[in-house]
Amino acid sequence: MVAIPGRADDTEGSPAQQTRAVTAALVQDVAALRGLRPKRPIASQVVTREQIRARLVAELDSETGDDLAAEGRALARFGLIPAGADYLSLFVAASVEQIAGFYDPATQTLFVAEGIDLAPGPAGAPASDGRLVVAHEVAHALVDQHFGLQRFLAGASAAGGLDAEMARRALVEGDASATMVEIMFAASGLRPPWGDRVSMGRIAAALRGVEPPASTAPLWLRAHMAFPYVQGFDMVAEIRRTESWRSVDVRYRRPPLSSEHVLHADKYRAYEAPVPVAAPELPGAARVYDTVIGELGVRTLVEHHLGAASRADEVADGWGGDRFALYELAPAAVGQSAASKARPSRDVGVLMTQWDTEIDAIEFFAAAQSVAHSLCATIDSVPHDLVVRAVHVQGWSCTAERRGNRVLVTVGAPRGGAAAVTDALWAGWP
């Protein structure tokens, strides 16, 4: 964990003193609304955005640097980020761009970016944006004191991968965002209209402000940055429509297992577990990355290549399980010398998906064909009822193949070896 030095100025009316005063006041307000009694004082510091950025970069580099680099290679292979892009830089830029404050469960400290407005609004008016940011982070701090955020966020199973992590983050951020909304309405003497879906939709749309602008971040990053806040808020708002905060508390003991649980309340109520899909060994290749991207990831992949969000939602509905992996072929497998460093012609991206029904699989297979053609030129394409292959002008292929309610997508296998790659993957997928 990288420490951030706070501002030393502690004089009357200084930012540090003002932040402590606002935090102390909001702890009482949030505790009363959220129903979580503070167990200990919450420390707070004022820091610059440069310090926030430096901390995030250092932490990512020390804790997830290699994994993040491999994830970037896998995303690039599927065309989800530009080829050769520095994924760490893209990730940091998207993460830090609009941060105004954050709570660090490791140090149990609330950090507020220098310069945000913490002044109280006029009587009967909504609180300032800065105070709402602090209210959001105070909610995290109180949840941490009662449920242990570090342990909760780290508790996503390795088998659940990225998708299980996103589901837990959606609960955490949705909880804090819904608490922030209650604080906002309480400042005006009102109760939040949880039962008014139109009003809640407008608030959810406003929360999209956490999503980086399209001009600065690929869709994959924008969607995954917004998901915990927007869809997480939708999930908690739906609970609050008919139930108390205690029903939200229950989720920390029985957390959502996948983005599907966040997107579909009925799936969570049934507590339908994702179908486990393991990335098999691939002869002549090393597996360098694998995870689960879930309904959210499949939806984003389809939207990225087809450009239609509503169509992507329909295609991803019915997701049952997946494995998203990257293999690096040995140079001999692609006719290269050992000294060759031309990684793009050696990386093979794989997406193995399991669907609730064969109809769901057929719908995804149709979209997967379009994804394959988006990634590869259509020359030498061999469409079939169950298999489609497209070959890129540089000699590597894209394939989509369906067997029952399973669909396999590969990107990057050498043109003459695509069938051998897919056969090996099917053989290793029981």
CA atoms of 274 and 259, how far apart (whole Å): 10
CA dihedral 307, 166, 351, 301 (to 10 degrees): 0
Same domain, 52 and 190: yes
Same domain, 248 and 373: no
Q: Is residue 420 part of a domain?
A: yes
Model pLDDT for residues 20-55, shown as the tens digit of each residue? 888 899 999 999 999 999 999 999 888 888 888 787
pTM: 0.90
Q: What's the pLDDT at 342? A: 46
**CB of 216 closer than 8 Å to CB of 97:** yes
For residue 12, give every residue at least 6 positions away whose Cβ sits within 8 Å of its Cβ, in sequence order, or none.
none
* 300: containing domain: 285-427
Model pLDDT for residues 108-144, shown as the tens digit of each residue? 999 988 877 777 765 544 556 788 889 999 999 999 9
> Does 77 have pLDDT greater than 90?
yes
3-state SS, residue 12: coil
Q: Which two tokens stand for residue 388?
A: 């489609």
CA atoms of 18 and 29, how far apart (whole Å): 17
Quote the number of domains for the chain: 2
Same domain, 229 and 305: no
**Residue 201 — very low, low, confident or very high, per pLDDT cuts 50/70/90?**
confident
Q: Find how far residue 159's CA is from the centre of its chain.
A: 16
Beta-bridge mates of residue 103: 110
- The structure tokens 């012609």 sit at 345
**DSSP structure class, residue 274:** P
Same domain, 36 and 92: yes
Q: Which long-range contacts (CB under 8 A, 24 or more apart) does 268-274 make?
A: 274/160, 274/163, 274/320, 274/321
Same domain, 294 and 360: yes
Residues 59-74: b if buried by 16+ CB within 10 A, e if exposed: ebeeeeeeebebbbbb
For residue 236, which phi and psi values (nearest 5 degrees)? -70, -35
> Does 383 have pLDDT greater than 70?
no
Same domain, 211 and 357: no
Domain boundary among 206, 239, 270: 270
CA atoms of 177 and 351, how far apart (whole Å): 33
Same domain, 384 and 244: no
Per the rule left: phi > 0, alpha: psi between -120 and 50, beta: everything else, 288 is alpha
Same domain, 333 and 214: no
Same domain, 141 and 258: yes
Q: Is residue 262 part of a domain?
A: yes
Same domain, 376 and 242: no
Domain boundary among 203, 236, 270: 270
Q: Is residue 384 part of a domain?
A: yes
Same domain, 256 and 374: no
